[in-house]
Structure 1
Amino acid sequence: MTETRDITLDVNGKRHALSVEPRKNLADALRDDCGLTGTHVGCEHGVCGACTVLVDGRAVRSCLMFAVQAEGTAIETVEGLASEDGELHPLQQAFWDKHGLQCGFCTPGFLMLAVGALRENPEMTDVEIRELVSSNLCRCTGYQNILTAVRAAADVMRAGTNG
């Protein structure tokens, strides 16, 4: 018999009561137990960034965090970015408008990484944005359109229209 722990995760403002093995990572709990499949699992070693979510506003590689460690925190996933009426977050809109995605596998990780960083520092320079996005892997776009999209979203978010 496998040991489980009862936990409650606050994800995108909704509470999820779960019973998980202590070794289950946050990415798998979000996908398997909460039904939030926007968080993608790539390398399972914290290298690729596809599993990036925000925990208490900070970017975290959810494949490296146990679900039990996330109890009592506020977790944000890509599913929580758009408004309830379906309006895209400025970053999502910028990725769409500036062609910052191709296959889309890495996109949720980039979105969550950039949202957290832009909330912290909406005045990021192009050099800072380049350094930020270099921590996530994309095999399709060559990064230029991702950089352009993050810059465009930063301009919108700084203007205070959403974020």
Structure 2
Amino acid sequence: MRNRPIPGSSGLIRAMSLYGDPVLHSPCEDVTDFGPALARLVEDMFATMYAAQGVGLAANQIGVPLKVFVYDCPDDDDVRHLGHLVNPKLVEVDGITVRGPEGCLSLPGLEAGTDRFDHAVVEGTDMDGAPLRVTGTGWFARCLQHECDHLGGTVYTDRLTGLRRTRAVRAARRAPWGPIG
């Protein structure tokens, strides 16, 4: 699946980094070059996310350790949120904590109940450096928190504890795309 164009898009489908890959477990670097390479990266990220049938994708999930993520995610009222953030910072989380099923394109086919806040605010920029502030509730708030975690080197399984964590890590080790290191 490496570097294939997706029909109707100018982006290329890139290979997915899988659970256990060191790029997923290290903090990403700030974007400093807002030129054509960044625009191409965002296009490729959208193409890769859509090909994998995801709702969000962080740059390190395709092996690029930069603070960028894309999303096309509904909230709990089925309102579609579509966009990207460069150098995002999770600046606010509040509301009730909800344990819901969470999956990840870097752990294909697996999910586990993960606690997330029901409201999140992320600030960053677009690919041209213009400031953005994105607010999410429900499922979209979960997506924003999940993608910000990725850029900090955290995978959702790192948030699990006890039996849920044991089961998730065991399932990842046994997955056909495994084993992990």
What TM-score do the two structures reach when normalised by structure 1? 0.33
More helix by share: 1
